[in-house]
Structure 1
């Protein structure tokens, strides 16, 4: 208890033991408040006491009448902290205050403890990594007792929504700098909800309680004060009034238990937003399709496949309220618009040949209601490929078409979906083929990863973002597509890029992959007109963001649409020392659903603080660290050189290990060991995978389009998909356990994972290697004929043709198991991707064999080190450095 002689009578100053913040208690009324009391406080306290004594604390029994709440304070009878009978509800206010001062928690949350694990050092030299451990959860978050209102297991964010590189936050920036582990959040606000998962709770009563000062949304980490009439913000510590209807159920028109409200029990919730959260009424979903109909696109079958897929997916495009709008522009040397009058099945084609100053030929009937014009849309998509069957030129005015599409959709916003197999080469935004194999693998290669065109596409992206338009790019493999330039539009408009090198619809595998991915993207719910902001405890600031969006202000990210399963990173800086036991990070995404409802998705993560390096090291999340470093490496490669990006990865891992050695191990001299905390033992392995990834790898044989596309994956894939993309999965199929490939309560059982080294291969074996983007079936040169018959339905190994294949489903146990494992692998990755299956023969096509071997991260490949050599290099650099 503190002493303050300047307080009014009956008031005493106390100090909160967890935050060291002063608060004040009236000994007469037991009222608690955080502001310094005045003489008026005494009068208000007495009025409250008289009111509380006069009103019974009824909330759920016998239909007792409830008085209308006052405009000034929230009456106590509208709270139901614990339910129970009427005698329990008529408890004295002193007990009630005690209940609220204890955050409404009667038992400790299982993860609330002051006991945090310390770092357990592991020597990596001579230690073979276990790839099955890459599926382990990140280090547990151990919050101090009474940190949260709720005992719910969902009170803290699941790492698939939000995760931190450190699950214990250092108390000073100097300590962060000393440990060398970057502090950042990895965000996936709209990750897919898998079968069996609970949906995100939706709060539809429009009672949204926010801090007056920092605008934080009420969450499980706030504190209730003054008998529950006020709550203290966990971000800025300001005391706020509880909304009048916070404890009222509008559905039953009865008082409700506030501690059962979703926002006090769940870290991820969605509020239905009232009208004050809207700049304009919710806009309808808009889909504008820009389809390249040049000779290349027609001949490859892209146009026919795209048109058929859109036609078959129209019934699954979000359109529950019948407001969805659609338009289609065909592009070659001119722009071909289609007039689609309602209730007519005959579209009219309008051609615009002016590419320098495009115009919309008719103001109406180009962007049309999907339901009203369905007959005309069906007819157009059915005949689109035949309309341009005689296209003979290589020209594509896609840049001009994009300008026209933005003009057409800007009143509403929405999504522009570009399908092109030809480099835009005429009109606005024309690009040149700048591929130069002579500079691949040199210091000049990074110039091919930077956009060309004088900023046309980046400026267009800014215009799109301003008009709430996002762009998805579906790029098909002509000799050169300039992915590096065209992906600017998705990058700054929160869209996505999909790349199909060498696409030919005559191969059923190519057609099925495109159809699957396009239909998933079209049928997925999207969030429209979104902005995202990350708030944090006072003294904690988001310093830099990474991902596909446009930074509208220092901390506001503009996202015209928010696609499913796209990841973002936010780096963190401490502006002042932390003297609180835990910090809170809250992400809010204000958006319009594709069903016409304005909502706010709120994701809250709380992490403890510590100045103990051992606790901080033990809390490090190696997967989150790798996700951040992948984003930073891509940005470095585009702004500087690929070599600089690789050096930055090397320097960062050396710094982390060097500081760990200096801080956590005895002796500072040279050592034959390479020590690190056990929870970081896979960090070198994953970063070696990043160095060997197509997006970063040192090589003179990687086309710039493939490298640029790999970099888009490195910066957008959620962590659950990024990790196998960096360290692929290897299964042995010819001698897998008998239960592998069979169904259990948890789904199909997969074989155990093997280390990614050729040493695990047998000459008679069949292996599966996958990274989420492609699947390789490797068959040894001495495979027995029966294995070939059972899996591929061919008489001998010599009859197998390497390359893309569709596995036959045969009536034998081996075929059923292999097909089941391939399908399980395809379904287990988040995102719309459907990996091709490639058959690789040990003595077959050298290029295909080399591609598959490049995924064996632990082996030496081209100019890359083996895992053993990589660890030795790290150890030598650490021994030669100076760390303190």
Structure 2
């Protein structure tokens, strides 16, 4: 991963590669890698107006000077995080300006420069900063800081540092507005940060940070860390808190239009309580599909989707389109999910309820709101943060 780190690249991970299984995934991802619009031999300079300055940069690049990043190849599948600080205690201007300039060579060989300039208003009330806080940007930065910390410290230290950052942000808000909200013993936070704690827990339980060094295969943990360091916000948030969708009700509808997916757009909380033994669910983190069959699912569903493999071990079964409407509907669902973000090709992994250890590492270990490995669930995490904020 070191080469990707310093060349603005990314790491693809194909565990136990077999061409018969991973061939389509490799073809899709290699094709995208070679055909997406790419800026070659690029350098990016980040400037800001008087009173503020950037202090640190996080992502895959080579830092050539205090504000100049060398990016041998950069594309739309990459993102960078930056931290800034105030050089003046009180900003007297009404706006602060930021500018990013990218000098690069296009695929046609032409040398170009692209410039983005942004003006942000300076506010006098801290409430405005909290009210307009961007949870996605915050999580993106916190994630990169946590991954960098694991390179020199224990995983537990990285998780503790992440929790401390969240606590400090919420404590500052509480110190200012506790009287206003009349909430002496209740946790308060702005609406803009409703999901910050949930994503914080999800990050702590991600493949890159959870457990100890022996709890996750080293290759898998390293690949997850490189993924977090490189990816844009939307894809990162989906990786941390994937989609869990129930499919059996949609597949069994008497009549449904080919492109009518409204009934399956509802995402379920990542808890065991969301799983019904009579149901069929898909877990989508943007990199793979885990399809979960309940123990008492209708035999018709299993037979229509799996054909003659429905009664055997799902680990040996393959999901392919069969000549029936239910199978065709599932194929359309998978195509829709894949087309929503074509950076990766999601392979299907089939698992039946109670099938251990496969069910554990494919699904149960990723239900981030549940109690896990002696650690509390989301409610316990919120209670823990609340106690720290109030003391």
Matches of 2:73 and 2:59 in 1, distance apart?
A: 13
Select 1:871's aligned residue among 377, 382, 385.
382
Instruction: State the partner residue of 2:366.
Output: 855
Instruction: State the partner residue of 1:666.
Output: 179
Where do 5+ consecutive residues of structure 1 fail to align?
A: 1-486
Matches of 1:740 and 1:587 in 2, distance apart?
A: 48
Kindly tell me: are residues 611 and 524 of structure 1, through their superposed partners in 2, closer, same or farther at Cα, counting changes over 3 Å? same
Matches of 1:629 and 1:795 in 2, distance apart?
A: 44
Instruction: State the partner residue of 1:843.
Output: 354
Per-residue CA deviations over 1:705-731 (Å, capped at 9, x if unaligned) read 111110001111111100010001100
| Pairwise CA distance, 1:613 | 1.5
Matches of 1:509 and 1:502 in 2, distance apart?
A: 10
Q: Is the 8 A contact 1:741 1:750 kept in 2?
A: no
Instruction: State the partner residue of 1:148.
Output: none
| Pairwise CA distance, 1:850 | 3.4
Per-residue CA deviations over 1:692-748 (Å, capped at 9, x if unaligned) read 00101124321111111100011111111000100011000012496988426xx98
Instruction: State the partner residue of 1:786.
Output: 300
| Pairwise CA distance, 1:565 | 1.1
Matches of 2:387 and 2:290 in 1, distance apart?
A: 36
Q: Is the 8 A contact 2:4 2:10 kept in 1?
A: yes
Instruction: State the partner residue of 1:765.
Output: 279
Kindly tell me: are residues 850 and 596 of structure 1, through their superposed partners in 2, closer, same or farther at Cα, counting changes over 3 Å? closer
By percentage of residues, which structure has more helix? Answer: 2
Matches of 2:179 and 2:270 in 1, distance apart?
A: 34
Report the TM-score when normalising by structure 2.
0.93
Q: Is the 8 A contact 1:741 1:817 kept in 2?
A: no
Q: Is the 8 A contact 1:698 1:863 kept in 2?
A: no
Q: Is the 8 A contact 1:618 1:679 kept in 2?
A: yes
Select 1:545's aligned residue among 44, 52, 57.
57
Per-residue CA deviations over 1:827-864 (Å, capped at 9, x if unaligned) read 22352x21221001002232343331112111112244
Q: Which has the larger radius of gyration?
A: 1
Q: Is the 8 A contact 1:588 1:602 kept in 2?
A: yes
Q: Is the 8 A contact 2:95 2:120 kept in 1?
A: yes
Instruction: State the partner residue of 1:622.
Output: 135
| Pairwise CA distance, 1:509 | 2.4
> Helix, strand or coil: the match of 1:579?
coil
Instruction: State the partner residue of 1:495.
Output: 9
Per-residue CA deviations over 1:419-473 (Å, capped at 9, x if unaligned) read xxxxxxxxxxxxxxxxxxxxxxxxxxxxxxxxxxxxxxxxxxxxxxxxxxxxxxx
Where do 5+ consecutive residues of structure 2 fail to align?
A: none
Matches of 1:640 and 1:764 in 2, distance apart?
A: 45
| 1:603 is the counterpart of 2:119 | no
| Pairwise CA distance, 1:656 | 1.4
Matches of 1:671 and 1:820 in 2, distance apart?
A: 52
Instruction: State the partner residue of 2:39.
Output: 527
Instruction: State the partner residue of 1:468.
Output: none
Instruction: State the partner residue of 1:743.
Output: 259
| Pairwise CA distance, 1:818 | 1.7
Instruction: State the partner residue of 1:725.
Output: 239
Instruction: State the partner residue of 1:282.
Output: none
Kindly tell me: are residues 678 and 554 of structure 1, through their superposed partners in 2, closer, same or farther at Cα, counting changes over 3 Å? same
Matches of 2:374 and 2:80 in 1, distance apart?
A: 31
Kindly tell me: are residues 613 and 513 of structure 1, through their superposed partners in 2, closer, same or farther at Cα, counting changes over 3 Å? same
Select 1:573's aligned residue among 78, 85, 94.
85
> Helix, strand or coil: the match of 1:707?
helix
Say what the alpha-carbon RMSD is for the aligned residues. Answer: 2.3
Instruction: State the partner residue of 1:777.
Output: 291
| 1:821 is the counterpart of 2:333 | yes
Instruction: State the partner residue of 1:456.
Output: none
Matches of 2:112 and 2:257 in 1, distance apart?
A: 42
Q: Is the 8 A contact 1:741 1:818 kept in 2?
A: no
> Helix, strand or coil: the match of 1:817?
helix
Matches of 2:140 and 2:112 in 1, distance apart?
A: 28
1:237-316 maps to which residues of 2 (within 5 A)? none
